Amino acid sequence: MESIIEFLIGHPYLSGAWTVVAVLLLIAQFQHMRNGVKSIVPQQVTHLINKEDALVIDMRAIADFNKGHIAGSKNIPQSKLDSSEKELEKYKNTPIIMVCASGVTAGPAASKLKKAGFEQVFRLAGGYQSWVGENLPVVRS
């Protein structure tokens, strides 16, 4: 314990940087909890798709979507999400899983849907990269 304290005192810039990173991570985590959008892993996504007919919304650009996407997913780029809410109305009671490239932009988009009255909105933690990283099947257009 003394060596940790000695290190922290001897390296104030590193200690400060670590503190800032830790605080930012905590803030990000609390924002996800506060907005009511749950992050789920690829195995949970497959469960929701197979057992509850979940809708997967892939927010990536159409070119990326065509290179590979989760089977059955619907491509709605982030820029068109607001104009697509009426089209999604029929899915208000259906689990919706938001997918982006790395899991960063899906959170705010999922929050918008949650605020618009969609009951079960999730985001894929790690985004499409986590899906591919788990060697799960993809469809190419």
- Residues with catalytic annotation? 100
Segment (H or E) for 55: strand 55-58
| Phi, psi for 135 (deg, rounded to 5) | 60, 40
Name the helix (H) or strand (E) containing 11.
Answer: none
